[in-house]
Amino acid sequence: MGREAAASLRAAPHATPAERAALSKAARRKAPRSSHAEFSPSPYRPDPLAVLEAQSAERVPELVPIRYARMTESPFRFYRGAAAVMAADLSGTPASGIRAQLCGDAHLLNFRLLASPERNLLFDINDFDETLPGPWEWDVKRLAASLVIAGRANGFTHRERAGIVRAAVRSYREAMARYADMRNLDVWYARTDAERLRTVAAEQLGGRGRRNVDRALGKARSRDSRQAFGKLAEVVDGRLRIAADPPMVVPLTDLTPGVDRDAVFRRFGGMLAGYARSLPPDRRSLLEDFALVDVARKVVGVGSVGTRCWIVLLLGRDGGDPLLLQAKEAGPSVLAEFAGASGYANQGERVVAGQRLMQAAGDIFLGWERAQGIDGRSRDFYVRQLRDWKGIAEPESMVPKGMRVFGEVCGATLARAHARSGDRIAIAGYLGGKDVFDRAVATFAESYADRNELDHRALVDAVAAGRLPADGANGTSGADGPPGPGG
């Protein structure tokens, strides 16, 4: 189908529920639910390694080998770093024509525990680097394939994996049906909190499941700026600074030897001032009560390795009042070539707008800025807290029943995120009350996991042959020139 996947079916503004439900009939004619089982790579499929190399050409050169090293570790790690590869593959799959705001990288590790501004723990989507409006099916299929790949890594049988995926997609389908019957404001206020997670765990996994959830909640609450501060900060010559751990964490002063520290920090101060203007006035006032102390480059994630990512240490009332922000480079979404370009001129604003639209509650310091580096290039960034009560799943420790429950919670969470922006009535009508779509996506996910394993093997072979560099310890603390915020 190629670019036809971006074609959309839309109801007229303020259409009645009956008119919106009628879209589902046209959508089923366009793409029967059973057709989602299909995955046949196009003969014109881009070389996945060429796709990765094209991304690497825009990244910090000395960090690119770390990215390849992490992606060679396992098919699942490859999958995490290959969102661009899958975007091209998804563009050739059937699509109903109904669109929603997409996460763009909805694999299972991008669903996690997060803090709300009211200091409650919620379960939600976390990563929005690739967010963009597009076919809602793409997010569902990326989640489904991730469950199969993680299940294979754990030695689950085909039957167990199929059951996990069908349960996750069924959860999405049934949640979307519930949202279709809800008032607009009720959809907006919907969220999955810690108590709901405890209840689900107790109902489906018993007392042990509830205890595991309680441990995860406690661990998440401990992961905040003070905990990060204790791990990342040190005192050198009486001055507080971010501790060096090259190449993973490199303080700005180590990247710019011989360059006036104050001049470089003024550049970052200007970036922070620009970013502050993207915040609501009350959050801007709060940020102004913190003083800039230090900046460092940090390697993050798998797919993001090599993008320009800075951690910024600020202090409030005293040395025991830290705030750590992360300023992360934002380029065009990997979906843009296939789903249409973003309506935002600033890619950082694209990320922030998508996150605010899809998440039930967001980071109070979430904002964006465009900054010019020493190389003269302007780059877009989005900014958020480095850590704020974040808890991440550990799929390698899951048994089939546990992964099934986790997949169900992810499916329902994704449905809620899509229901906020997409036509939930039309999507629910398209999915219907039977498991046709669930089974189709389970078949797709197995086929895509096969393809992912072949792509992973190609990367491993390319590294072994010397075509691509991979060194988990590679990277230097030096630089060709002193970078600014965008350098």
Query: Would you say residue 92 has pLDDT above 60?
Result: yes
pLDDT of residue 56: 95
Number of helices followed by number of strands (H, E) in the chain: 18, 14
Q: What is the mean pLDDT of residues 456-464?
A: 98
Query: Would you say residue 35 has pLDDT above 70?
Result: yes
Q: Which two tokens stand for residue 291?
A: 């003083």
Nearest 5°: the CA angle 154, 156, 161 is 115
Q: Which two tokens stand for residue 123?
A: 């379960």
What is residue 101's three-state secondary structure?
A: strand
User: What are the φ/ψ torsions at residue 312 (nearest 5 degrees)?
Assistant: -120, 120
pLDDT digits (tens, 9 = 90+) for 252-292: 888 877 777 788 788 888 889 999 999 999 999 999 999 99
| pLDDT band at residue 216 under the 50/70/90 scheme | confident
Instruction: Tell me the Ramachandran region of residue 466: left when phi exceeds 0, alpha when psi lies from -120 to 50, beta otherwise.
Output: left
pLDDT digits (tens, 9 = 90+) for 154-208: 999 999 999 999 999 999 999 999 999 999 999 999 998 877 777 777 777 766 6
Element (H, E) at 362: none
| pLDDT band at residue 486 under the 50/70/90 scheme | very low
382: exposed, middle or buried (C-beta count within 10 Å: 0-12, 13-18, 19+)?
buried
d(CA 127, CA 67): 18
Q: What is the mean pLDDT of residues 463-475?
A: 80
User: What are the φ/ψ torsions at residue 324 (nearest 5 degrees)?
Assistant: -110, 120
Instruction: Tell me the Ramachandran region of residue 68: left when phi exceeds 0, alpha when psi lies from -120 to 50, beta otherwise.
Output: alpha
pLDDT of residue 172: 98
Least Cα distance to 85 among 54, 131, 61, 109 occurs for 54
Least Cα distance to 59 among 277, 379, 341, 374 occurs for 379
Q: What are the sequence ranges of the domains in the chain? A: 2-221+392-464, 225-385
| pLDDT band at residue 376 under the 50/70/90 scheme | low
According to DSSP, the β-strands at 111-115 and 391-392 are antiparallel
pLDDT of residue 485: 43
pLDDT digits (tens, 9 = 90+) for 349-370: 999 999 999 999 889 999 999 9
What burial letters (b/e) apply to 171-186, b meaning 16+ CB within 10 Å? bbbbbbbbbbeeeeee
Query: Would you say residue 451 has pLDDT above 80?
Result: yes
Query: Would you say residue 373 has pLDDT above 80?
Result: no
